[in-house]
Copies of this chain bind each other. A is one copy, B any other.
Amino acid sequence: MGCIQSFRQCCDQPKNTNVRISLPAVCCIWQIAMIILFGIFIRYNEESDAHWIDHKTSNNISSNIENDFYFRYPSFQDVHVMIFVGFGFLMTFLKRYSFGAIGFNFLIAGFGLQWALLMQGWFHSLDPMDGKIKIGVESMINADFCVASCLIAYGAVLGKVSPVQLMVMTLFGVTLYAVEEYIILSLIHARDAGGSMVIHTFGAYYGLSISWMLYRPNLDQSKHRIGSVYHSDVFAMIGTLFLWMFWPSFNSAIADHGDGQHRAAINTYLSLAATVLTTIAISSLSQKTGKLDMVHIQNATLAGGVAVGTAAEFMLMPYGSLIVGFCCGIISTLGYIYITPFMEKYLKIHDTCGIHNLHAMPGVIGGIVGAITAAAASEEVYGKEGLINTFDFMKEWKYMVPTRQGGHQAAGLCVALCFGIGGGIIVGCILRLPIWGDAPDNSCFDDEVYWELPEDEENNPPTVEYNNHMRNKAVTESNLSMERRQN
């Protein structure tokens, strides 16, 4: 404990938020490293290479429409919107951190997807013939998925870290993700098309652990900036809605061609619809006069999409999806009301966006639902071929049975949890070092620190400082009046 204490002391030096050297250096050097690694390792796969025309002939492919591009590109674009507009705008709700929310989201994603192509490529699509990674549209979707887990983690530390810290967090996050994904999907052979475990559970616990390590006991100095203004809440709804609408694409993007993608989209569509109703119900119940809370609408309505991720491509049945959505809307909203304050007060985990309620709990539920649905699968429901196809009981897994698959799913969930918590603690330690340029406790949640702001502080949007200034002015004036009256 003494050791930890001294480490803490070493970390708790006065903060210097000047990132003029560190940020450009990290961006440029890492980008150059990416170029070199891409030059060595990454090539087009056979569907995006100019040899496709030969490949088509030799594989008897009748039409260009059989190119995987046409199966997955619309879903890819939807996922892409979720990553950049969805996650970006969802985090604009803070009254004075919209630039940081969108801008750093953009930075994390722009870097993360390149590193993810490499890391995932090494594990999944290394061509043994020439030692190259072959990429195509599915690689781009997977890279976006990987980035999603880092953006989820960003939600927990929003407003409290520097862009350099975010780059470091993303570097390690993507690395851990790729390893964890390889273990869960390839070694354990769990299925996780929508990433309840691989993306959401991992990402959320990774972020929460980092937030725990970076706990700021004096954060209440910035408390007045944790909150929204009217229009920042409307901006955040842009994020919410694009996430909500395109979640069916997210969960179906890398599902099996044909019925797999089709079913995943339907299940997600239904689950999310049910979540909206229960979120509104609980939000209204939780307030004295039944008023709704925008925080719940912005976040908890999405929980159904998270929780149905793993099972979306299974025969979860339409009513099954509704049940999952129904429960998650309730649990997630209750999380915002009770668990987030509890975690902050007693566990010393400050979770800016409430990712524990939106990603962590629904992700774990999603893993469990997936395990149960897999264990309950039968030839009657899926058909003989359908069962093999859906669960990929082929090659070395051809003797696998559904009940055992359920166990593997559960094992996958545990791996995601371990990587999230373990990785987060280690990375959190690294991020505590006093070299990353993060803001002091009284300047958190403020774009002023890392952004040139337009000169409109005098009235739009209001900052507490301004209000205070106005109040002081009023006080001064009334003092003057007093004085005058006494005259």
Residue of B50, B238, B293 touching A315 (CB-CB under 8 A): B50
CA of A456 to CA of B474, assembled, Å: 18
Question: Which residues of chain B are within 8 angstroms of A261 by Cβ–Cβ distance?
Answer: 69, 73
A421 at the interface (CB under 8 A from B): no
How does the 8 Å CB contact mask read for A315-326 relative to B, with 1 for contact and 0 for none? 101110011001
Those of A350-409 within 8 Å (CB) of chain B = 381-383, 385-387, 389-390
The chain B residue sitting closest to A140, CB to CB, is B269
The chain B residue sitting closest to A82, CB to CB, is B245
How does the 8 Å CB contact mask read for A26-61 relative to B, with 1 for contact and 0 for none? 011011101110110011100111111110100000
The chain B residue sitting closest to A34, CB to CB, is B322
How does the 8 Å CB contact mask read for A75-119 relative to B, with 1 for contact and 0 for none? 101101100110011001001001100110011011101100100
Could you say how many copies of this chain the assembly holds? 3
Report A10 CB to chain B, min CB distance, Å. 24
The chain B residue sitting closest to A377, CB to CB, is B50
Residue of B25, B277, B297, B386 touching A103 (CB-CB under 8 A): B297
How does the 8 Å CB contact mask read for A220-234 relative to B, with 1 for contact and 0 for none? 000000011111111
Stretch at the interface among A16-24, A177-185, A192-200, A428-436: A16-24
Stretch at the interface among A122-130, A279-287, A341-349: A279-287
CA of A18 to CA of B290, assembled, Å: 6
The chain B residue sitting closest to A473, CB to CB, is B474
Question: Which residues of chain B are within 8 angstroms of A88 by Cβ–Cβ distance?
Answer: 237, 241
Known contacts A288-B20, A450-B291; is A102 also within 8 Å of B53 by CB? Answer: no
Residue of B71, B459, B461 touching A70 (CB-CB under 8 A): B71
Report A440 CB to chain B, min CB distance, Å. 14
A442 at the interface (CB under 8 A from B): no
Contact of B454 with A50 in the complex, beta carbons under 8 Å: no
Known contacts A74-B77, A114-B322, A230-B456; is A107 also within 8 Å of B280 by CB? Answer: yes
Contact of A54 with B386 in the complex, beta carbons under 8 Å: yes
Contact of B229 with A456 in the complex, beta carbons under 8 Å: yes
Residue of B27, B74, B449, B477 touching A280 (CB-CB under 8 A): B27
Report A84 CB to chain B, min CB distance, Å. 5
Question: Which residues of chain B are within 8 angstroms of A460 by Cβ–Cβ distance?
Answer: 229-231, 459-462
Stretch at the interface among A148-156, A207-215, A411-419, A479-487: A479-487
How does the 8 Å CB contact mask read for A424-461 relative to B, with 1 for contact and 0 for none? 00000000000001000000000001111111101111
Contact of A386 with B99 in the complex, beta carbons under 8 Å: no
A299 at the interface (CB under 8 A from B): no
Report A383 CB to chain B, min CB distance, Å. 4
A135 at the interface (CB under 8 A from B): yes
Contact of B484 with A259 in the complex, beta carbons under 8 Å: no
CA of A206 to CA of B36, assembled, Å: 38
A336 at the interface (CB under 8 A from B): no
Contact of B263 with A19 in the complex, beta carbons under 8 Å: no
The chain B residue sitting closest to A483, CB to CB, is B485
Question: Which residues of chain B are within 8 angstroms of A73 by Cβ–Cβ distance?
Answer: 74-75, 261, 265
Contact of A69 with B258 in the complex, beta carbons under 8 Å: yes
Residue of B291, B451, B484 touching A485 (CB-CB under 8 A): B484
29 residue pairs of the A-B complex, CB under 8 angstroms, read A20-B285, A20-B287, A23-B281, A24-B284, A25-B281, A27-B284, A28-B281, A35-B326, A44-B315, A47-B259, A52-B386, A67-B259, A69-B261, A74-B74, A77-B246, A85-B245, A92-B234, A98-B230, A103-B280, A106-B301, A107-B276, A109-B276, A110-B301, A114-B322, A163-B280, A230-B456, A238-B238, A291-B452, A480-B481
The 5 residue pairs across chains A and B that have the minimum distance between CB atoms: A20-B290, A110-B276, A50-B386, A52-B259, A64-B258
Additional 6 contacts, C-beta under 8 A, given A135-B318, A163-B280: A27-B280, A52-B259, A110-B275, A293-B451, A459-B460, A484-B484
